[in-house]
């Protein structure tokens, strides 16, 4: 019998002859998976996917918590940035105030220096007058 003829006859033999069907099933049983084998593989895969899904759910929750922490940190950073900006503005204001105070102090020191110089000159004049008075008094004696 030719191969082509055999291939045409095979489907009919499988349906009608249990011996042929059994021989084919026996020959394929070492090579092909049975329906039961496939069901077990699917069941095993389903269990593995359930475990994987649970792990992903846990990871999602962790990522959500991390996102919440990041948002809180961003809020803190914004708050600190605002505080630093205000501190910088205050520092600039203080620097301006110190400059004004220093200018006033320098002006007052100049005025005070002028007064001290005037007093010093006045003291020299008084000393001269005292000296002249002493000379006059000593001449009269």
Residues, the chain, total? Answer: 141
pLDDT of residue 129 exceeding 70: yes
Percent of residues, the chain, with pLDDT higher than 70 = 99
What's the pLDDT score for residue 141? Answer: 66
Phi, psi (5° rounding) for residue 71? -60, -45
Average pLDDT value for residue range 1-9: 88
Q: What is the pLDDT of residue 74?
A: 98
Taking residues 18-29, report their average pLDDT: 85
Residue 135: pLDDT above 90? no
pTM of the model: 0.45
**CA–CA dist 15, 2 (Å, integer):** 21
Among all chains, which residue has been given the structure tokens 């699917």?
42
> Over pLDDT 90: what percentage of the chain?
52
Read off the pLDDT of residues 45-100 as tens digits, 9 standing for 90 and up: 999 999 999 999 999 999 999 999 999 999 999 999 999 999 999 999 999 999 99
Helices (H), ranges, the chain: 3-16, 18-29, 35-140
């Amino acid at each position: 019998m030719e191969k082509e003829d055999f291939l045409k006859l095979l489907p009919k033999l499988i349906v009608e002859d249990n011996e042929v069907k059994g021989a084919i099933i026996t020959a394929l049983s070492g090579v092909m998976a049975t329906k039961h084998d496939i069901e077990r593989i699917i069941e095993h895969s389903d269990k593995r996917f359930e475990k994987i899904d649970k792990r992903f759910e846990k990871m999602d929750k962790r990522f959500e918590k991390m996102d919440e922490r990041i948002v809180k940190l961003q809020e803190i950073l914004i708050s600190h940035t605002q505080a630093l900006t205000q501190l910088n503005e205050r520092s600039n204001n203080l620097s301006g105030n110190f400059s004004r105070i220093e200018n006033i102090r320098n002006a007052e020191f100049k005025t005070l220096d002028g007064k001290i110089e005037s007093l010093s000159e006045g003291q020299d004049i008084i000393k001269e007058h005292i000296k002249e008075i002493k000379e006059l008094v000593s001449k009269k004696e």
